[in-house]
Amino acid sequence: TQLLEQSPQFLSIQEGENLTVYCNSSSVFSSLQWYRQEPGEGPVLLVTVVTGGEVKKLKRLTFQFGDARKDSSLHITAAQPGDTGLYLCAGAPMDSSYKLIFGSGTRLLVRP
Amino acid sequence: GAGVSQSPSNKVTEKGKDVELRCDPISGHTALYWYRQRLGQGLEFLIYFQGNSAPDKSGLPSDRFSAERTGESVSTLTIQRTQQEDSAVYLCASSLAGETYNEQFFGPGTRLTVL
């Protein structure tokens, strides 16, 4: 069974601080995605990373895919209250790329 | 519509009753997925449709769960003889194709509560 371990589970920080969320697996993924989910809504795709070592930036968010395509990180610079939400990583297995294996999520609270 | 829609948004039922959850994917999306999300957890894959066929049903928890899709559009997830452990948010997603990058677009979910 392929698993994605996400850490930390909860994070409460002050506005302006930086943070990093990690997503780790022993399995190789063909691609990895990060989603953000607000209460009462479905997850919304933030980014897809495909190439080992790839780094993508989306304003204050930086996403990295590990060289071996087994892990990923999300770094937020100068967090704002609007960043509050549940962040989910999801990997597409090599042998069944139509399927997404989701991590358990990181619940982020940014206090003003 | 512009996005994936699901109905009902909330469903409260009694243990032992059957429920049907509906998903309307984005027009033109050939792939459709059902997931289950328990409180405070990530998403658990249930079933994948490519067109009207379901090549992967491996995530369905038991034979009480079934799903169908018609017209390469609407899908219905049916749970028979509901149990309390079925309480969760059921999310539907669609994508342009079932392969490569697999960028899925999610509906708002149906919150199912089994009393």
CB-based burial label for A81 (10 Å; 0-12, 13-18, 19+): exposed
What percent of chain B stands above pLDDT 70?
Answer: 95
Residues of chain A with pLDDT under 70: 1-2
Contacts of A92 in chain B (CB under 8 A): 101-102
User: Is pLDDT at B56 greater than 80 in this prediction?
Assistant: yes
Asked if the C-beta of B25 comes within 8 angstroms of chain A's C-beta atoms, the answer is: no
Instruction: Specify the amino acid at residue A52.
Output: G
Asked if the C-beta of B101 comes within 8 angstroms of chain A's C-beta atoms, the answer is: yes
User: Is pLDDT at B3 greater than 60 in this prediction?
Assistant: yes
What pLDDT does B63 receive?
95
CB contact under 8 Å between A50 and B31, yes or no, is: no
A50 three-state secondary structure: coil
CB contact under 8 Å between B102 and A96, yes or no, is: no
Nearest CA in chain A to B50: A98
Asked if the C-beta of B39 comes within 8 angstroms of chain A's C-beta atoms, the answer is: no
Q: Which string of DSSP letters, residue by residue, matches B34-97?
A: EEEE-TTS-EEEEEEEETTEEEE-TT--STTEEEEE-TTS-EEEEE-S--GGG-EEEEEEEES-
User: Is pLDDT at B1 greater than 60 in this prediction?
Assistant: no
